[in-house]
Amino acid sequence: MNHSYRCWAEVDLMALRENLAWIRHRVGPDVKIMTVVKADAYGHGLKQIAGLLMQSGTDVFGVANLSEAQAIRAVGRGWPVLMLGACLPDEVERAVRDDVMPTISTFAEAKMFSAAAARLKRVVSVHIKVDTGMGRLGVAAAQACELIEAVGRLSGLRLVGLYTHFAAVEDDAAFSREQRLRFNRLLRPLLKAGHAFEYLHANSSGALLLEKATIFNTVRPGLAVYGVVPSAKRRIVSVLKRHLCPALAWKCRVSFVKEVPAGTSLSYGRTFVAPQSMRVATLTAGYGDGYLRAASGRAQVLIGGKICPVVGRITMDQMLVDVSTVKRVRAGDEVVLVGRQGRRGISATQVAEWSGTIPWEVLTAITYRVPRVYLGGHAA
In the DSSP assignment, the letter for residue 87 is P
* Alpha carbon 253 to its chain's center: 26
In the DSSP assignment, the letter for residue 259 is E
Cβ proximity of 320 and 331 under 8 Å? no
Coil vs helix vs strand at 170: coil
Q: At what angle do helices 46-56 and 13-27 cross, to 10 degrees?
A: 50
DSSP output for 317-348: S-EEEE-TT-S---TT-EEEEEEEETTEEE-H
CA distance linking residue 60 with residue 79, whole number of Å? 6
Average pLDDT rounded to a whole number, residues 79-89: 97
Average pLDDT rounded to a whole number, residues 159-172: 95
Residues forming the active site: 38, 268
pLDDT exceeds 90 at position 336: yes
The CA-atom distances, in angstroms, between 238 and each of 242, 273, 310, 356 are 6, 38, 28, 22
The tens digit of pLDDT for each residue in 170-229 reads 899 999 999 999 999 999 999 999 999 999 999 999 898 888 899 999 999 999 999 998
CA distance linking residue 254 with residue 222, whole number of Å? 33
**Which residue segments constitute the domains of the chain, with CATH numbers given?**
31-243 (3.20.20.10), 248-375 (2.40.37.10)
Average pLDDT rounded to a whole number, residues 126-140: 97
The tens digit of pLDDT for each residue in 228-273 reads 987 777 776 566 667 899 999 999 999 999 999 999 999 999 999 9
> What is the pTM assigned to this prediction?
0.93
Residues whose CB is less than 8 angstroms from the CB of residue 333 and which lie 6 or more positions away in sequence, other chains included: 253, 254, 303, 304
Helix (H) or strand (E) holding 124: strand 124-131
